[in-house]
Amino acid sequence: MQIIINTITQLSAAAKQLLASYKRERIFLFFGDMGVGKTTFIKSICDQLGVCDVVSSPTYSIVNEYASKDGLVVYHFDFYRLKSETEALDLGFEEYLDSGSYCFIEWPEKISSYWPKRYVKVELTISGGRTICAALEQA
């Protein structure tokens, strides 16, 4: 599946399409260069899920927890600043994955040894001034 986002106003529809395409999935790995819009896209996805909290980059905290108006819990990870994969285990990463809650993970390449068996890979790239989101479900 490929979604082309020409303007920021299209993020909401793109987030809705991604969630509709992967209704059963809860773990999403977001790949893309610095500044491509990973956090901004995750914010739009959280909006679609009814998250009431302010969604921001967890660059320094590594993980943010958000709640929706329906009691849904969403975890947002940013592993950019990790120095080793084991730091993810130190914060209980595997328990988050096993929680059944949505887990949105930025910079997952930093923890490739700990990827779950099931996830949706979301690749964000910029081409011709527009963001292209390609999602591929992994088994």
CATH class of 18-125: alpha beta
pLDDT for the residue numbered 63: 93
Domain ranges of the chain: 18-125
Joined tokens for residue 31: 């790949």
CA 103 centroid distance within chain: 7
Rounded Cα gap, residues 103 and 29, in angstroms: 8
* Degrees to nearest 5, angle at CA 107 with 101 and 113: 80
Question: Could you report the per-residue pLDDT of 9-58, keeping only the tens digit for each?
Answer: 888 999 999 999 999 999 999 999 998 889 999 999 999 999 998 888 88
Joined tokens for residue 65: 């927890």
* Degrees to nearest 5, angle at CA 88 with 123 and 34: 35
Kindly give the pairing relationship between strand 27-31 and strand 119-127. Answer: parallel
